Amino acid sequence: MKNGKKFLGIIGGMGAEAGAVLFERIIRLTPVLVDQDHIETLVYSNTTIPDRTKAILKEGPSSYPPLLDSARLLEKNDVDLIILGCVTSHHYIDDLRSQIKCEILSAVEETLEQIKHRAPQARKIGVLGTTGTIKTELFQNALRKAGLEALILPDDIQEKYVMGALYAPDGIKAGYQQPARDKMLLAMNWLLLNGAEAIISGCSEFPLLFGQTDCLVPLVDAMDALMRKAIFRCTGKQALERPNQQIDD
């Protein structure tokens, strides 16, 4: 810790653009007057980390060893706390916390706190996430523990619209915004039509495609919740209220 602020470590590269946007959002949301008020940050964009969903579904190599190596690299450089620039990677957070001494914040835990704050009357919560996140029930388990009902997409809609928005040749990972956005809005509308009273945006790349102005109920962005807690833990100040900005093609 220097000058009363904690040194923040970010594990990015999952995907690369989402990690860059995560860091940019932290800069935009941190209340500052001069350059020196910003959070000292070490960003490790580790693009070698295997795909998290494929790893969880046993369709590819484990993501955990390079995630652990990334966290250890940040720890060796004396960061005070770490955030993961990928929601699906939170599948491994308990294992990481058992091996890393510095604090690791959880996007899942912070999302539940934001739901309590922004949608206190909501009981049926729609969950948008990668298939890896859905299959591991990261958000479903947290919602159940809080006495809330999780609403998830049918498998065919999940694969066609959510995973298609991410991984199709015209998806966001290939650098295309509008086709991916169209698919995600169809997925969101299914949740709304089936009674979602609030929706979790549970992937680091979703904020590149849609935001609260696209949703008729409270939309809780997991990465935004994580960023806001990181800013508070590092500075002792609440993050600024600024809307997310989607990228252009």
Query: Tens of pLDDT along 167-180?
Result: 999 999 898 999 99
Banded pLDDT at 241 (limits 50, 70, 90): confident
149 three-state secondary structure: strand
**Helix (H) or strand (E) run with residue 232 in it:** helix 222-235
Provide the pLDDT for residue 242. 72
What is the pLDDT of the chain when averaged over all its residues?
A: 94
What pLDDT digit, counting tens, does each position of 143-162 carry?
999 999 999 999 999 999 99
Taking 90 as the threshold, does the pLDDT of residue 244 lie above it? no
DSSP 83-135: EES-SGGGGGHHHHHHH-SSEE--HHHHHHHHHHHH-TT--EEEEEE-HHHHH
| Burial class of residue 145 (count of CB atoms within 10 Å of its CB; 0-12, 13-18, 19+) | exposed
193 three-state secondary structure: helix
Mean pLDDT of 46-64: 95
Could you give the domains of the chain? Answer: 8-106+225-235 (3.40.50.1860), 108-224 (3.40.50.1860)
Distance CA 41, CA 28 (A): 14
Provide the pLDDT for residue 1. 76
Task: Please say if 234 is a catalytic residue.
Answer: no
CB–CB of 54/60 below 8 Å? Answer: yes
Catalytic residue among 102, 203, 215, 234: 203
What pLDDT digit, counting tens, does each position of 210-219 carry?
999 999 999 9
Distance CA 130, CA 57 (A): 11
CB–CB of 108/225 below 8 Å? Answer: no
Q: What residues have CB less than 8 Å from 69, skipping those under 6 apart?
A: none
**Worst-scoring range by mean pLDDT, 14-23, 142-151, 157-166?**
14-23
CB–CB of 36/28 below 8 Å? Answer: no
Taking 50 as the threshold, does the pLDDT of residue 247 lie above it? no
Provide the pLDDT for residue 248. 41
Task: Please say if 203 is a catalytic residue.
Answer: yes
**Any bridge partners for residue 9, and if so which?**
42, 82
What pLDDT digit, counting tens, does each position of 124-135 carry?
999 999 999 999
**Helix (H) or strand (E) run with residue 229 in it:** helix 222-235
CB–CB of 211/237 below 8 Å? Answer: no
CB–CB of 197/124 below 8 Å? Answer: yes
Provide the pLDDT for residue 243. 63
CB–CB of 219/146 below 8 Å? Answer: no
